[in-house]
Amino acid sequence: MCGDVRTDWGRVVQAELTAENSQFVALVVREELARRRLSRQWLADEAKVSLSTLEKALAGRRPFTLATVVRLEDALGTSLRAPMVRPEPKLFAPESMGAYARPAVQWLEGTYLTLRPSFSEEGAIFAYLTSIGWDDSNGHLVFSEASRTDSEYEQKGFVSFPNISGAIYLVTISQGQYRVALLNRPSGRWLNGILLTLAAGDGAQLTPASLPIVLLPLNEEDNRTVGVVRAGDPAFDEYRTCVDGVTQRGYARFPA
């Protein structure tokens, strides 16, 4: 199952370093030789590598292999490889997303049961999952959808959270098209609001649509029904009550 260990190890030690790493090794070796007043011939003899191989690698005409670097390190008694430096995670979102700090929005991270009226069946509720998490490399919250019966339309994007309004925006931008969930937090971690999107119409036609949407935080042990939930299904009454509550309780307005 694990293969021939000797063969795998042979591939590892003969692996070539990247051009950048080879340049770093060459620089350190030249500095060490100059500082100690040692010859390249001496280093080749001590490391048991050919002088030609060493000369070419130091000149940048061929990359170092891991095996050669290990032998050079043994001969010189010092590490030649660049230390792994992990970039510091970004903890503040850009101003265009509200300039929020991660500690202030960690309560938002997690998986949510997402409920909204169904486009395909009148009166039904469409349920799926939305995950919100921090993007360390870009320094802001991101979201992604899953467990949709129409998986080809699953959305992902960034989270905007301006302090001036306290509203939360889940924004998808794809090929110039925008889709936005505009949410508020009336209590706890429940999120309620309006989804602005495009609904499939006749043929290839897409129609602008707005509808209430609810995001309910889930725990790992929660096992909620997803998909199109119809009247008579066990979860329907609960889901319907949650969605209707968006307008009934004034969490979002749809003026006549």
Cα-based torsion angle of the residue sequence 43, 44, 49, 50 in order, rounded to the nearest 10 degrees:
160
> Which structure tokens are listed for 190?
């429940």
Concatenated DSSP letters for 159-206? EE--TTT--EEEEEEETTEEEEEEEE-SSTT-EEEEEEEEEE-STT-E
- 25-41 residues labelled b (16+ CB within 10 A) or e (exposed): bbebbeebbeeeeeeee
pLDDT at position 13: 44
Q: Is 216 helix (H, G, I), strand (E, B) or coil?
A: strand
Q: pLDDT per residue over 157-181, tens digit each?
A: 999 999 888 899 999 999 899 999 9
pLDDT at position 14: 56
Contact 243/195 with Cβ under 8 angstroms? no
Tabulate helix, strand, coil % of the chain (nearest 5): 30, 30, 40
Contact 65/50 with Cβ under 8 angstroms? no
Cα distance from N-terminal residue to C-terminal residue, the chain = 66
pLDDT at position 125: 97
Mean pLDDT over all residues of the chain?
A: 87
pLDDT at position 67: 87
Q: Which domains does the chain have, with CATH numbers?
A: 5-76 (1.10.260.40), 95-248 (2.40.128)
Which residues does the chain have with pLDDT short of 70? 1-14, 83-87, 202-203
pLDDT at position 12: 40
Q: pLDDT per residue over 70-116, tens digit each?
A: 899 899 888 887 765 566 778 999 999 999 999 999 999 999 999 99
Q: What is the pTM of this model?
A: 0.66
Residues forming a β-bridge with 114: 128, 215
